[in-house]
Structure 1
Amino acid sequence: MRDAEKPTQPSTRPFLSVLRRLPATIAFIAILLACGIVSQGLWRPFEDSAAFEAVAYGLPALEAGRWWTPLTGTFFVVQPLVYIPTLLILWGFAVLEYLRGWKVAAAYFAIGQLFAIFTSALLLWMFALIPNWAWAAEQAATLDVGPSGGAFACMAAAAALFASPWRVRVLLLLIAVATIGLLFLGTVADLEHAVALALVLLVDRSLHVQRATVREQRFIAFIGVLAFAATQVIFAFVPTDGPFGTSAPLAGPWWTTVVETLVVVLIADGLRRARRWAWVVSLVLLGINALLGVLLLALLAAADQADVHAAFDGGVALTIATAGVALAVFIYLVWVRAAFPPRHRRTLSPGHPTDHDETKKLLRAHGGGTLSWMTTWEGMSTTHTEHGSVAYQQRAGVALALADPLGPEEGRAASVAEFIDDAERAGLAPCFFSAGEATRAAVPATWRSLVVADDTIVDLPGLEYTGKRWASIRTSMNRAGREEMTFRMSTLRDESWGVRAQLHAISEMWVGDKGLPEMGFTLGSLEQAEDPEVRIALALAPNGDVDGFLSWLPVYGEGRVRGWTLDLMRRRDGGFPPVMEYLIGMSAAHFRDEGAEILSLSGAPLAHEYPPDARVIADLSDKLADMLEPVYGFRSLHRFKEKFHPRYETLYLLYRDEGDLPRIGLALTRAFLPDATARQFASAGLELVQRGGERE
């Protein structure tokens, strides 16, 4: 057990500990704000001040010989409100400094800032030589201030340190922001952002879209369609002055643009969730916009350009630019069309309800874990792999695999990979619940793992209830003998109608006290105990009443039953007090005498034995366990099982990344409580609040 005593004062405060590792970030922000105070730029537009021209950088400053401006201009901001986004985008600098030190962060920032300033000036000087390009001439004569070029370089470098898939996602978001800004806003700052971002992408080579999984292909499509939607919003509400021309906000009702944007966002979300209809609608929408751009180009070539521009209120160039974005996303969607299967494939193939005989055949032939028998229960589906099978439930867009794959041990890693691939192609989020170390080692290296329980294992060979450590179990067994209690190991089908009726009455009373229906998924009921291979342990009073009972699931290995897993634990109110200790103790002795090797008392969720250095996870587990204890008693159950001095095997939730956790949480809720109503959830929640208030 973890030591219950906690230090009265933590040795370090996490927030202060983080700040100590960010001296360069803090110093830069302090200088930025100090310059804002001295120049009054924090409350007045600095670009209107007399000092602006002396410190601002850009092509005019370099042509005038003001060589110091790339340094001085970095610490000023054009408008007071711009301080907010400027400070926010410095997150990349902070992340780099925290992970790689202040020297690396400062190097990325300085090189990115200087490269963005000088390269943008060079490009604008070249563009200004092109006749009749008003945008180039205007921006070539513009000055700018601010650290955004270096900040974009740091954000790209920081994103390159992220684990997959967040690396690609953040980089794509940065690319989308920089591209839209350059094409439709077109300020010197937007050009600097794009240049700095391009530099880091070329040097670090951290963006590997060609290696994207099916899931990431959908996410890229999602970002692309959102970028297209952003162009429509910009067109409608923001005057643009990009490289391809200027435009004024649309004169139509604002709500029509809002509705259109919401529709496009819904379509984009459909792409993220692998909906075929969203893919089809996106192709139509993008295709129309791309075709409009092509027709405009043809019209410009065939007719008088002045008339065409007049007919489209001067928005021809921007319409063509939008068409370019639409065409790029259209081509990408066609390229990754296999990532959006038709609706009839939105399930694992060949997924079907569990064939009990086939699953049991695999278990007998190749064995399984302590939870493997649960894969034979109703409600489970099975997908067959080349080497075996994986049992799962499909809920809330999640393929929720239970325990480890079945089949030959040497083929289970391949079954894991095949299950993940099939789930992703079906547009489902794959995950494994209550999986062991072998499955954890078989999932991709980028996957996350979360401890969900400790499987409590009692080794049966040589088990004797002697010594001080077994005193409580001996006491319960001796008391049972004095009170003439009877132990019987049986099967539910072999019991009389009267005994079966008592078992149902005890279970119904137990469920009724919880406020929520009987849980499922990894927690069985008397329906599952009907299986003739499931054992029932009964504690009978002298008058024949059932004071308590257990159900035991077989654990196969090497072609035989090598152990048993505890499932149901039920007791009659007012019956023999230590009935559970008595039943488990007698069951263990019975199975030991039959030659079984192990007895699993199953895992209690939120009651993991964490190592001393797992403070954050342990604290979170403690808080959740405190909240749920009044309803399900997970921690009390864990403490009860410690009386049998088990060893522990960790069970994990394995998932792709944190983005899947909300869906997985909903899927697990529905898997464990498939029949719970909203009213029952609300009642249980009220009980939690009331119990929590009583403890305080």
Structure 2
Amino acid sequence: MTAPTVPARSARVSGILRRTISRTPATIATILAVLVVGVVSRGLWEPFVESAGMYTWAYGLPAFDEGRWWTPVTGTFFVVQPLVYIPTLIALGALGALEFFRGTRVALAYFWVGQLFGVFASALLLSVLRLFSEWTWAQEIASTLDVGPSAGALACLAALIGLAPAPWRTRGWMVLLTAVIVAVLVFGTVADLEDIFAVLLILVVDRTLRPQRATVREQRLIAFLGMLAFIAIEVILALVPTDGPFGATEPLSGSFWSTAIDVVVVVVIANGLLQARRWAWVIAIILMSINVLSAIGLALLLPATDALGLDVTEIGTVELEIGTGALSLLMLIYLISVRGAFARHRRTTLGGGAEPTVAEASAMLRQSGGSTLSWMTTWNGNDYLRTSTGIVTFQKRVGTVIALADPLGPAEGRAQSVAEFIHAAEHAGLVPCFFSAGETVRAAVPDTWRSLVVADDTIVDLPGLAFTGKVWNSVRTSMNKAGREDMTFRLTRLADEPWGVRAQLNAISEQWVGDKDLPEMRFTLGTLAEADDPEVRIALAIDPHGTVDGFLSWLPIYAEDSPSGEPRVRGWTLDLMRRREGGFGPVMEYLIASSAVAFRDEGAEIMSLSGAPLAHEYPPEASLLSVLSARLSDGLEPVYGFQSLHRFKAKFQPRYETLYLLFRDEGDLPRIGAALTRAFLPDATPRQFARAGLELVRGTD
């Protein structure tokens, strides 16, 4: 491909500049106005803050006291010092970016509403705080004037963060909120107050900070980084001289050992949060709550110390304690909002004896084989019942025990495991059911039990597989297109890939999850955490530049009998399917087809594309029991696309094996419906369910 010539590149750059200028007229006009005012006022080379014009044009509480109500508008175009013009013009780039992406009217609305709100809200707050005559900072700041467009620029920046894709949206908000809070604590100027009010306004109005929508992994990571940032800021406040709202501090004015102990404790807690330890979340909540309550008490006590004859400095550095409390409040709100990420599933033992471990379940699976879904029984969050002939995997939700897939153990003993599981559940006063069970389990449950089809397991037989004939046209087209675009297929394991590839997979997954109304589904759908198992294989589609355009994860299917007596993988089950936005179009067809060829050449017998949950097409004569599954499927279709996924898998000409929900009778359905919803969406909030339009239990019309 011929490289573009210099004139061609110049024309392209000129075109980009013309488009940018044509789409940002308000920003250009604002920047020109600031520069013109700087020339006229001589603020470009002389400190405007020292000029007589400061009294006439600057905004602030003194200006409002004297009736200069025009100053919030006029003061926006002045800058206090010549050197401040550089950061000011850079900050106005946020207005330009917002105007480029959302239009002139929207950008101007954010800028001016943020600017005016910041000015008036800070003035209103200071008019109240100056009533505390003993509060030196409040008296000084209440008598200070200010100029500049920083509040409006930060409002535009906050709006831009709301446009960012997940997970960068949440990360951006956390950084911005931390920055404006620290600025108030360390510097405590009028401008800092105006900035934080503008940011908080956009936070409340736009409501784009929704940490509950992030993946569980991302929620834990932000909590981890937030705790580290919290202790880092505390160290900064202890080491750096400040002059904020609660007085001035000198370096090392507080207790060195107190700060050192805090660092060690918070680092331990942060590590526990990263590992999803419930105790770490509880301790973090307690610690943050103590800091907040202590700060509130000191803040209320500080203005009255002289009148009461108290010396609060005897109990520590007051300024540092109050500043830490403000940061703790931010962290406390976040930890409470994502509490589901640290809600450890309570271990529940049915029957007598010791509960089997994950290692025992994995060993039995390798020894006796299992179904296409059996590897999911080794995932975190499951409990196990030991029976006389094997192991049953289950989850306990809302008074219901949901057995996942077929029991583990020798095929001839699975019916006995089914019977013992039902007896143990009913003996414990719980509702038993089996989810995604096969025909063997259906035949083993009591005759009075009901069955409901929940999915069709889509199985591709690999021996002799060839993409020939008309039915394979779409698959061949995808393979040929991948060849023309120099796409590379790699079948690997996540742990074997370099950091750069793993980071791309994380980014693709976070992007896929972040913009959905509901969090990642679990139970029979894995995440990257499950894909990190050394026995799980990853299929990558990589473009010529080394960018991952999509990936799949494949779970092993162990054979029930092996001639050598050694565990043998007879096939692979599809779990994760993720693609990069704007990447290679038919990347999923390419990945599945390439994986099928690789597995076939290795001697595998089958490849399961899994059953799209809740996507079965029921015949007209089906029982009314299908209403629950059908309505849940319809409600989740706009969010997760189960039915469209089911149609996509049909391209690979699979044969189907039915998977069932097995239960005692219709009276158990309401509780089973709630339990299944919680199993699939353990971290979703009631508001998220309502927003997605879910109705768990409704009668037929």
TM-score by length of 2: 0.49
TM-score by length of 1: 0.49
